Amino acid sequence: MLFILDLDGVIYRGSQVLPHAPEAVAQIRSDGHAVFFLTNNSARSCHSYAQKLTAMGVPAHPNEIMSSSYATALYLEEHGMHGCSVLVVGEEGIPAELSLAGVRFVEPTEDAIADCVVVGIDRRITYRKLRAAQHAILNGAKFIATNADATYPLENGGIEPGGGAIVAAIQTCTGTAPIVIGKPQPYSVLKILELTSTPPRNAVIVGDRLDTDIALGRQLGIRSVLVLTGVTTREQVHAAPEEMSPDLVLPDLRNLVAAVAGRPN
């Protein structure tokens, strides 16, 4: 069995590891199952995410992580855009992963021209960057969003604007809809299944969002588990439409393996 685990709201919130996460991942591995970590957050490189997880007591290798930035790099490679020029509106994780696709980076000037504009979370967003992205897109650049998450969870239980807030601003000022790479679009999970040679029936996706993690599991025929350690409440689960209804709902990761296997706790 392949366990595809979301990060924000499942393994950690901000800089705080969530209760039972290290033990759950250790049990998955000790029972002989495979693990792949999946995140829509584009802020870090896969190497940086692996370091963060390992420091939290969840040992991980960069090859076990699919960030939306890495998925975007794979997308560019697969669509014949190796070596293309890219204007980035985002943080360090995007150029770190896109550099693996041999792209050339364009500075965010007011007359910027590029083959692609790649947008993700950017906590240093400026009007200058928005204007550069607008100019490039209106002059023919492909508009690619690493993800469209409106918010992301914080360790204190709050939320902050996500990459989707910036994507929406650029969509508004260009009148152009982006190609979205991350969840709930299927690309990143399909790549995980391909890389691990796993059929959907032998995978389970674990997340905290109905509209991304669970919707994607339903779409691809992958069993889905929603944990209540992130942004979704039990009341929201009960009110969810069928296409966002998880197969299992757990308070946290404590009994994940047993619940998926149908074993008594």
**Looking at the annotation, which residues are catalytic?**
6, 8
Contacts of 165 (CB under 8 A, 6+ apart): 150, 151
Q: Which runs of consecutive H residues, i.e. helices, occur in 16-162?
A: 21-30, 46-55, 68-78, 93-98, 127-138
Give phi and psi for 230, each to the nearest 5: -120, -125
Q: Tell me the residue length of the chain.
A: 265
Q: What is the largest CA-CA distance in the chain?
A: 62
Residue 32 exposure: Cα atoms within 13 Å on the Cβ side: 1
Q: What is the dihedral of CA 101, 64, 213, 235, to 10 degrees?
A: -140
